[in-house]
Amino acid sequence: MSDEYENKTGYQAQSSESITSSSIGSGVATDIDYVRPAENAEQDLYHGHSFITKWIFCQDAKVIGVQYFLLATFTGVIGLVLSWLMRLQLGFPGAAGFMTAEHYYQFVTMHGMIMVVYFLTALFLGGFGNYLIPLMVGARDMVFPYLNMVSFWSFFVAVAVLLASFFVPGGPTGSGWTLYPPQAILEGTPGSGMGIILMCVSLILFVAGFTMGGLNYLITILQARTRGMTLMRMPLTVWGIFTATVLAMLAFPALLVGSLMMMLDKLLATSFFMPTILKAGEILEYGGGSPILFQHLFWFFGHPEVYIVALPAFGIVSDLISVHSRKNIFGYRMMVWAIVGIGALSFFVWAHHMYVSGMNPWFGFFFATTTLIIAVPTAMKVYNWILTLWRGNIRLNVVMLWCLGFIVTFVNGGITGIFLGNVSVDVPLSDTYFVVAHFHMVMGIAPLMVIMGAVYHWFPLVAGRFLNETLGKWHFWLTFLGAYSIYFPMHYLGFIGVPRRYFEMYDSPYMTSAVGMNEFISTAAFIVGAAQFILIFNIIKTLKTGKPAGHNPWQANSLEWLTPSVPPEHGNWGEKLPVVHRWPYDFSVPGSREDFITQTTPPSDVKDSKVEKT
């Protein structure tokens, strides 16, 4: 019977270790199930007893993950409110009475910084990373739980410092999220006093805190996997988070250095970034510095940062698509290498953000080339997602809807990225709304859709209950259609030349041609923003009355669903660590009893499918 299947389908379940006999089930089960003995000793964990050690200064990675998630979401909501205020001004100038140009710039800056660093990065790596990595690789916890706790509280202080800048004299910095000197620290820019200093301090704290967390993620993945868990058997979620963490560890140093030097320029009047400046006929005390150096440092961090946000999203969406279309991910190895390749390339493309900055013009050749090369692995990933869906047994639930929304949005944003990667196309389009549309599509909405999908997917694990599907569908459709209503017209605004970062259009020709569109965009933005509160309502409602999920509700294969208790307890695995025999994508394997074979199912339990020796 097994021969029939092998020859017809050519499909092999990927499983482990030595096979001594070609026919399974002939009484040599011990040989078949052989997995090397454990290399690592059992990890001793610190179990908190009081409320404070259990829920506040907690060393359990899962609790820390939830803490990260909640705090990041909180700052994200602040970012959302700021974007509302900006859209209010753009769509209906003067409607918000208190809004001055200074406020507008401060809101733009804080919205950008909050969303990119304090929301998306913290949510993906701090939130999902902490919760999922130990569970998915079969560890009891992160390898350095104490450090992990300090990591979260550094992040907490960083957020506190960031938000404190709203309340200092002069308000938060208004220099744009890129913080370009010289204007970031010169008088005349809003928040050029305490605002920029607190921003730099907050970023330095964030980097320090993140380094502690990042070391944990990397060492847990590299050195603390369970028996049988090879790198090529890890779910793509872990691969995405892993590569993003590597990028973060190598890219954040540039941000740290840039922030530190900017702070010294402000506090000690050094001239790292400050050229000789003539202001109202007077030469300022600065002189001889190089403003473009800051741009290079910033974007040496900034471009990998894009992938720090995108790669976990790529990984997570691969897993969601595979589970909810009941098919193995198409081209797993290709997906892994694409993630790694994108990560490596991301360090060689940074100056494509600087085509109009006045850098050495020859750089355009180099950076346009490397930028366009990144399109290759990225496109491979899109094809693989589509081919995973192809002829799959698709469950069209909310999770799948978010995934489909992601693919469409990501392709959209990616294509405009190819426009902007070319110097000659970028020069007229840069600093227009086309750029705004591009990066919101590709690194705002697309990762956000994955986050939403992931929340609906893993909520049954975290809380033990299903989120409400009907509310979820309202949430999805309002967000998806609304986001397109916001950002599609922005491409057009960019083509007609509407500049970004303008408080209002004054007497320009854009005033007449763009005004209706701006009103439309703003209205959509209000609706989309409000729609996000459906999720919060849904979560609160579900926690009380949701349908209990039980074990492995999505019939998934990966380890996080296979814990003895749901939600998993501190230590994750109860008495014995799981032993892994296969990759996490054995869905709909021909001949198997069910349409999924979990990672811990030993080969002897899988009838009628040939086992590959690894």
- Kindly tell me which of 222 and 386 has the beta carbon lying closer to other proteins: 222
Cβ neighbours of residue 246 closer than 8 Å, sequence gap 6 or more: 218, 343
Residue 83: name the closest of 487, 494, 583, 607 by CA. 487
CB of 344 to other proteins, least distance (A): 8
- Kindly tell me which of 272 and 330 has the beta carbon lying closer to other proteins: 272
CB of 363 to other proteins, least distance (A): 7
Burial class of residue 358, CB neighbours in 10 A (0-12, 13-18, 19+): exposed
Residue 403 is encoded by which pair of tokens?
A: 């995934």
DSSP 341-410: HHHHHGGG-GGGG-TTTT--TTHHHHHHHHHHHHHHHHHHHHHHHHHHHTT-----SHHHHHHHHHHHHH
CB of 36 to other proteins, least distance (A): 4
- Kindly tell me which of 202 and 226 has the beta carbon lying closer to other proteins: 226
CB of 261 to other proteins, least distance (A): 7
- Kindly tell me which of 366 and 474 has the beta carbon lying closer to other proteins: 366
Q: In whole angstroms, what is the distance from residue 171 CA to residue 194 CA?
A: 8
Q: Are 321 and 253 in contact (CB under 8 A)?
A: no
Q: Are 240 and 315 in contact (CB under 8 A)?
A: yes
Question: Residue 218 half-sphere exposure, CB side, CA atoms within 13 Å?
Answer: 14
CB of 248 to other proteins, least distance (A): 9
Q: In whole angstroms, what is the distance from residue 2 CA to residue 206 CA?
A: 55
- Kindly tell me which of 70 and 231 has the beta carbon lying closer to other proteins: 231
Residue 445: name the closest of 468, 411, 418 by CA. 411
CB of 367 to other proteins, least distance (A): 9
Residue 501 DSSP symbol: T
CB of 256 to other proteins, least distance (A): 6
Q: In whole angstroms, what is the distance from residue 165 CA to residue 367 CA?
A: 36
Rg of the Cα atoms in the chain: 25
Find the helix or strand (DSSP H, E) in which 262 lies. helix 236-267
Q: Residue 170's Cα: distance from chain center in Å? A: 32
CB of 76 to other proteins, least distance (A): 26
The residues binding other proteins (CB under 8 A) are: 35-41, 43-46, 143-146, 211, 214-215, 218-219, 222-233, 249-254, 256-258, 260-261, 264, 268-272, 285, 287-290, 292-293, 296-297, 300, 347-348, 351, 358-363, 366, 580
Helix axes 469-495, 433-440, angle to 10 degrees: 150
Cβ neighbours of residue 112 closer than 8 Å, sequence gap 6 or more: 176, 177, 178
CB of 565 to other proteins, least distance (A): 22
- Kindly tell me which of 99 and 580 has the beta carbon lying closer to other proteins: 580
Find the helix or strand (DSSP H, E) in which 283 lies. strand 282-283
- Kindly tell me which of 250 and 425 has the beta carbon lying closer to other proteins: 250
Residue 343 is encoded by which pair of tokens?
A: 């990560």
- Kindly tell me which of 14 and 542 has the beta carbon lying closer to other proteins: 14
List phi, psi (to 5°) of 537: -60, -45
Find the helix or strand (DSSP H, E) in which 282 lies. strand 282-283
- Kindly tell me which of 144 and 419 has the beta carbon lying closer to other proteins: 144
**The three-state (H, E, C) secondary structure of 134-191, written as one string:** HHHHCCCCCCCHHHHHHHHHHHHHHHHHHHHHHHCCCCCCCCCCCCCCCHHHCCCCCC
CB of 34 to other proteins, least distance (A): 9
Neighbours of 533 (CB within 10 A): 12
Residue 565 is encoded by which pair of tokens?
A: 């208790």
Residue 149 is encoded by which pair of tokens?
A: 């706790």
The type of residue at 14 is: Q
Residue 554 is encoded by which pair of tokens?
A: 């999505």
Q: In whole angstroms, what is the distance from residue 528 CA to residue 452 CA?
A: 14
CB of 197 to other proteins, least distance (A): 16
CB of 129 to other proteins, least distance (A): 15
- Kindly tell me which of 122 and 436 has the beta carbon lying closer to other proteins: 122
- Kindly tell me which of 36 and 501 has the beta carbon lying closer to other proteins: 36
CB of 419 to other proteins, least distance (A): 24
Q: In whole angstroms, what is the distance from residue 257 CA to residue 255 CA?
A: 5
- Kindly tell me which of 392 and 603 has the beta carbon lying closer to other proteins: 603
- Kindly tell me which of 125 and 455 has the beta carbon lying closer to other proteins: 125
- Kindly tell me which of 39 and 507 has the beta carbon lying closer to other proteins: 39
- Kindly tell me which of 228 and 482 has the beta carbon lying closer to other proteins: 228
CB of 241 to other proteins, least distance (A): 15
CB of 2 to other proteins, least distance (A): 26
